[in-house]
Structure 1
Amino acid sequence: MDNVTPLGGDVYEIDTRMAGHAGITAGYLILGDRPCLVETGTSTSAPVVRDALTSLGVGPDDLATVVVTHIHLDHAGGVGDIAGFYPSAQIVVHRKGARHLADPSVLMASAKRVWGDKLDTLFGTLSPTEATRIRALDDTDSIDLGGGRALASHYSPGHAKHHVGLLDSATGDLYVGDAAGVYLPQTGDLRPATPPPDFDLRTALNSLTLFDDLGPQRLLFSHYGPVSDVPEILARSAEELRIWVDLTRQAHTEGMDLDHAVAMVREKTRERYAAPTSEDAETVRQFEMLSGAPSNVAGIMHWLDRSSPASG
């Protein structure tokens, strides 16, 4: 299938075709003794992901585990649907997100307030998963992949309070979710992902330090794809966070409203990122909608409003 890319080590990248677009959100299949899907994508992407797994020889009773880095709908919106397609699979998530997969009503109501009429098109509806099928991870935990292989789970908040990074013992791949930001393979740019309401600068930087200390061989971004320059990318991620926070703090201190703050931060950061080619412009536009300046600045503003002046 044209949306499946082998990455070596029995790992396959699956383009979930979020909202019908290519290159926005990736899921990953680890095809070992106990096949494991990392990230489901959205609810509307679930049939795309199922077809990809079928093409890789994973039938309805073969998938052992579904694990999500966090419960935002572009990562976990398809959990309920995928759980229905694969009745033997255990659903794995950090304990702070587990109740929202069993009862998504609060999460969906919050998403409706943020996205409004775009919700159905972008994400669809997260269906509930039977609580008995959900495994809640502790801050440090492990997921058995069979054959002596495991995913070590490491609590990594800052982007979201229910976020984990996942380190593959066989390949050294680290599934970073959104904790290291959003990587655009078309331009090589890395941008922060600091949405409300959970963003916290110090916590986010601590999570990046944790990732570096784990010594991964490769970072697998949910947005989007594999990156091998691990120390450089993690350092860039921390640098981007600090720059966006400093600029937003300046706007906040000057009393700017959100629209003016977004415009200022966009202008001040424009030269940090490559201009997309005409072929890549639509993909970059989709990234901007999903995790762009309005969301990032709003998340930083929210953190500043609830922080003391000395925070960060």
Structure 2
Amino acid sequence: MDNITALGGDVYEIDTKMAGYRGITAGYLILGDRPCLVETGTSTSAPVVRDALASLGVGPDDLATVVVTHIHLDHAGGVGDIAEFFPSAQIVVHEKGARHLADPSRLMASARMVWGDKLDTLFGELSPTEAERIVALGDTGAIDLGNGRTLSSHYSPGHAKHHVGLVDSATGDLYVGDAAGVYLPETGDLRPATPPPDFDLDTALNSIALFEALGPQRLLFSHYGPVDAVQETLERSAEELRVWVDLTRQAHSEGMDLDHAVAMVRDRTKERYSPPKSEDDGGVREQFELLSGAPSNVAGILHWLNRASPQKPG
């Protein structure tokens, strides 16, 4: 299938074809003795992911585990559907996200407030998962991949309070979710992902420092793909966070509203990123902008600043 890439070590990247686009959200299959899917993608992507697993020889009763880095709908929106397709699989998530997978009503209501009519085309509906199939992780945990291989989880909030990073003991791969930002493979650009309501700068920087301390061999971004330059990329991730926060803090101290703050931050950061190389790239970038764009990032940083210093003087 044209949406599967072998990454070595029995790891396969699956393009979930989110909203019909290529190269936006990746799921990863670790095809060991106990096959494990990392990230499901959206609900509307679930049949794409199921078919990819089938083509790799993973049938309805073969998938042992589904683990999501966090419960945002581009990563975990398909959990309920995938759980139905693969009835033997355990569903693994941080304890702060577990209840939302069992009862997604509050999560879906808040997502609809943010996305409105775009919700159905972008994400679809997160279906509930039976509570007894959900394994809730604490600050650390281990997922058995079989034959002595494990996927260890490490609590890494900052982007979201229910976020974990995952390290494969066999490959040294670190599944970073959104905690290290959004990576654009066409250009090697990396941008932060700081949406409301959970973003917190110090927490996010601590999570990146934790990722560095884990000493991974490779970073696997949910958006999008594998990166070998681990140290350099994590340093860039921290730098991008600081740049976006500094600019948004300046806009905040000058009393700008969200629209003006977004325009200023966009203008001051545009030199940091390569222009699109082609119309096709432009389409991909447009979708990245929708998922983790300046309005969402600046809104998340302003939300944090207002919590930290509601009456910040100019």
Show the counterpart of 1:286. Answer: 287
Show the counterpart of 2:146. Answer: 146
Deviations 1:258-310 (A, max 9, x none): 00000000000000000011231110111001110000000000000000389
Show the counterpart of 1:116. Answer: 116
Q: 3-state DSSP class of the match of 1:5?
A: strand
* Paired residue type of 2:93: V
Q: For 1:72 and 1:21, how far apart are their aligned partners in 2? A: 18
Cα distance, 1:181 vs. partner? 0.0
Give the percent of matched residue pairs that are identical in Structure 1 and Structure 2: 83
Show the counterpart of 2:300. Answer: 299
Q: For 2:284 and 2:156, how far apart are their aligned partners in 1? A: 27
Q: 3-state DSSP class of the match of 2:22?
A: coil
Q: 1:310 to 1:29 in 2, by over 3 A?
A: farther
Deviations 1:209-231 (A, max 9, x none): 00000000000000000000000
Pair 1:230-2:230 in alignment: yes
Q: For 2:205 and 2:292, how far apart are their aligned partners in 1? A: 18
Q: 3-state DSSP class of the match of 1:239?
A: helix
Q: 3-state DSSP class of the match of 2:117?
A: helix
Q: For 1:148 and 1:74, how far apart are their aligned partners in 2? A: 31
Q: 3-state DSSP class of the match of 1:179?
A: coil
Paired residues in the alignment total: 311
Deviations 1:100-121 (A, max 9, x none): 0000000000000000000000
Show the counterpart of 1:216. Answer: 216
Show the counterpart of 1:27. Answer: 27
Deviations 1:186-211 (A, max 9, x none): 11100000000000000000000000
Deviations 1:115-166 (A, max 9, x none): 0000000000000000000000010110000000000100000000000000
Structure 1 alignment gaps of length 5 or more: none
Q: How does 1:45-194 map to 2 (within 5 A)?
A: 45-194=45-194
Q: For 2:309 and 2:249, how far apart are their aligned partners in 1? A: 12
Show the counterpart of 2:200. Answer: 200
Q: 3-state DSSP class of the match of 1:83?
A: helix
Show the counterpart of 2:244. Answer: 244
* Paired residue type of 1:305: N
Q: 3-state DSSP class of the match of 1:212?
A: helix
Q: For 1:69 and 1:285, how far apart are their aligned partners in 2? A: 24
Q: For 2:19 and 2:268, how far apart are their aligned partners in 1? A: 30
Q: 3-state DSSP class of the match of 2:116?
A: helix
Show the counterpart of 1:13. Answer: 13
* Paired residue type of 2:15: D
Q: 3-state DSSP class of the match of 1:280?
A: helix
* Paired residue type of 2:71: I
Show the counterpart of 1:308. Answer: 309
Show the counterpart of 1:256. Answer: 256
* Paired residue type of 2:35: P
Q: For 1:310 and 1:122, how far apart are their aligned partners in 2? A: 37
* Paired residue type of 1:287: F
* Paired residue type of 2:59: G
* Paired residue type of 1:286: Q
Q: For 1:75 and 1:286, how far apart are their aligned partners in 2? A: 15
Q: For 1:138 and 1:263, how far apart are their aligned partners in 2? A: 39
RMSD of aligned Cα (Å): 1.1
Show the counterpart of 1:40. Answer: 40
Deviations 1:52-75 (A, max 9, x none): 000000000000000000000000
Q: For 1:310 and 1:201, how far apart are their aligned partners in 2? A: 18
Q: 3-state DSSP class of the match of 2:7?
A: strand
Q: For 1:251 and 1:116, how far apart are their aligned partners in 2? A: 27
* Paired residue type of 1:132: E
Deviations 1:168-191 (A, max 9, x none): 000000000000000000111000
Scaled by the length of structure 2, the TM-score of the pair is 0.98
